[in-house]
Chains A and B, each alone.
Chain A
Amino acid sequence: MSAVYGLFPTPEAAQRAVNGLRSAGIGDARITVISSEPFEEHEFAAHDHATWMGWIALGGAIVGLASATWLTRMTELAWPLPTGNMPIVAWWPNLIVMFELTMLGGILAAVGTLLVTVSLMRRPPAFYDPAVADGLILVGVENPPDPSVVERALAAPGVDIRRQ
Chain B
Amino acid sequence: MSDAAARKISDDLLRPLLRTSWRFYALVAFLGAIVAAGLATWMYQVWMGFGMTGINMPVYWAFYITNFVFWIGISHAGTLISAILRLVNAGWRRPVTRCAEVITAFALMIGAMFPIIHLGRPWLFFWLMPYPSNRMIWPNFRSPLVWDFFAISTYLTGSVLFLVLPMIPDFALVRDRTTGLRRKAYGVLALGWRGTPKQWHRLESAMQIMAIAIIPVAVSVHTIVSFDFSMAPVPMWHSTMFGPYFVAGAIFSGIAGLIIAMAALRRFLHLEEYFHPVHFQNLGKLLLMMSLLWTYFVFAERLTVWYGNESAEVQVLRVTQKGTFAPLYWTMVVCNFVVPFTILSLRRLRTITGCVIASFCVCVGMWLERFLIVVPSLGHKYLPYTWGTYRPRPVEIMITISTFAAMVLLYTLFAKFVPIISVWELKVGEHAVREPQLQHAEHAIGEVRP
User: Are A135 and B3 neighbours in the complex by a CB distance under 8 Å?
Assistant: yes
* Cβ contacts under 8 Å, B6 to chain A: 36-37, 134-135
* Cβ contacts under 8 Å, A72 to chain B: 141
Question: Given A9-B3, A32-B196, A53-B202, is A101 in contact with B154 using a C-beta cutoff of 8 Å?
Answer: yes
User: Are A75 and B138 neighbours in the complex by a CB distance under 8 Å?
Assistant: yes
Q: Which of A36, A76, A103 contacts B424 (CB under 8 A)?
A: A36
User: Are A118 and B199 neighbours in the complex by a CB distance under 8 Å?
Assistant: yes
User: Are A48 and B176 neighbours in the complex by a CB distance under 8 Å?
Assistant: no
Across the interface, name the chain A residue whose C-beta is closest to B204: A38
User: Are B194 and A101 neighbours in the complex by a CB distance under 8 Å?
Assistant: no
Q: Which residue among B136, B202, B427 has the maximum number of chain A CB atoms within 10 Å of its CB?
A: B202
Given the complex of chains A and B, what is the CA–CA distance between A81 and B217 in angstroms?
Answer: 28
How far in angstroms is the closest Cβ of chain A from B426? Answer: 9
Across the interface, name the chain A residue whose C-beta is closest to B1: A135
Question: Given A46-B197, A120-B193, is A97 in contact with B202 using a C-beta cutoff of 8 Å?
Answer: no
Q: What does DSSP make chain B's interface, helix, strand, loop or mixed?
A: helix
Interface size class of B (residues with CB under 8 A): 35 or more
Q: Which of B3, B137, B194 contacts A34 (CB under 8 A)?
A: B194
User: Are A133 and B177 neighbours in the complex by a CB distance under 8 Å?
Assistant: yes
Question: Given A37-B431, A128-B194, A132-B195, is A111 in contact with B161 using a C-beta cutoff of 8 Å?
Answer: yes
Question: Given A37-B427, A118-B199, A133-B176, is A54 in contact with B213 using a C-beta cutoff of 8 Å?
Answer: no
Q: Which residue among A78, A103, A104, A128 has the maximum number of chain B CB atoms within 10 Å of its CB?
A: A103
B209 at interface by CB-CB < 8 Å: yes
A148 at interface by CB-CB < 8 Å: no
B67 at interface by CB-CB < 8 Å: no
Q: Which residue among A46, A54, A107 has the maximum number of chain B CB atoms within 10 Å of its CB?
A: A107
A5 at interface by CB-CB < 8 Å: no
Q: Which of B136, B195, B206, B216 contacts A111 (CB under 8 A)?
A: B206
User: Are A106 and B213 neighbours in the complex by a CB distance under 8 Å?
Assistant: yes
A155 at interface by CB-CB < 8 Å: no
Given the complex of chains A and B, what is the CA–CA distance between A94 and B150 in angstroms?
Answer: 11
Given the complex of chains A and B, what is the CA–CA distance between A125 and B224 in angstroms?
Answer: 44
User: Are B196 and A33 neighbours in the complex by a CB distance under 8 Å?
Assistant: yes
B19 at interface by CB-CB < 8 Å: no
Interface size class of A (residues with CB under 8 A): 35 or more
* Cβ contacts under 8 Å, B150 to chain A: 96-97, 100-101
Question: Given A48-B197, A75-B130, A100-B154, is A38 in contact with B428 using a C-beta cutoff of 8 Å?
Answer: yes
Q: Which of B7, B138, B146 contacts A78 (CB under 8 A)?
A: B138
Question: Given A9-B3, A34-B196, A36-B424, is A97 in contact with B168 using a C-beta cutoff of 8 Å?
Answer: no
* Cβ contacts under 8 Å, B201 to chain A: 38, 48-49, 51
Interface string of B202-230 (1 = CB under 8 A from A): 11111001100110110010001001000
Across the interface, name the chain B residue whose C-beta is closest to A86: B142
Given the complex of chains A and B, what is the CA–CA distance between A114 and B150 in angstroms?
Answer: 24
* Cβ contacts under 8 Å, B428 to chain A: 37-38
How far in angstroms is the closest Cβ of chain B from A122? Answer: 5
Given the complex of chains A and B, what is the CA–CA distance between A100 and B195 in angstroms?
Answer: 33
User: Are B151 and A100 neighbours in the complex by a CB distance under 8 Å?
Assistant: yes
User: Are B158 and A107 neighbours in the complex by a CB distance under 8 Å?
Assistant: yes
* Cβ contacts under 8 Å, A36 to chain B: 6, 169, 172-173, 195, 424, 427
Given the complex of chains A and B, what is the CA–CA distance between A125 and B205 in angstroms?
Answer: 23
Q: Which of A44, A75, A122 contacts B141 (CB under 8 A)?
A: A75
B23 at interface by CB-CB < 8 Å: no
* Cβ contacts under 8 Å, B210 to chain A: 107, 110-111
Given the complex of chains A and B, what is the CA–CA distance between A35 and B224 in angstroms?
Answer: 43
* Cβ contacts under 8 Å, A118 to chain B: 196, 198-199, 202-203
Q: Which of B3, B168, B195 contacts A134 (CB under 8 A)?
A: B3
Within 8 A of A (CB), among B136-172: 136-143, 146-147, 150-151, 153-154, 157-158, 161, 165, 168-169, 172
9 more CB-based (< 8 A) A-B contacts, given A39-B431, A96-B227, A107-B154: A36-B424, A51-B201, A83-B140, A90-B142, A100-B147, A107-B157, A117-B198, A122-B192, A135-B7
Give the B-binding residues of A (Cβ under 8 A).
9-10, 32-41, 44-49, 51, 53-54, 57, 71-72, 75-76, 78-79, 81, 83-84, 86, 90, 93-94, 96-97, 99-101, 103-104, 106-108, 110-111, 113-115, 117-123, 125-128, 130, 132-136
30 A-B residue pairs with Cβ-Cβ distance under 8 Å, sorted by A, are: A36-B424, A37-B169, A39-B431, A40-B200, A48-B198, A54-B205, A75-B139, A76-B141, A81-B140, A90-B142, A96-B151, A100-B151, A100-B154, A101-B150, A103-B216, A104-B157, A104-B158, A106-B213, A107-B157, A108-B157, A110-B213, A111-B161, A111-B206, A118-B196, A125-B187, A126-B194, A128-B194, A135-B1, A135-B6, A135-B427
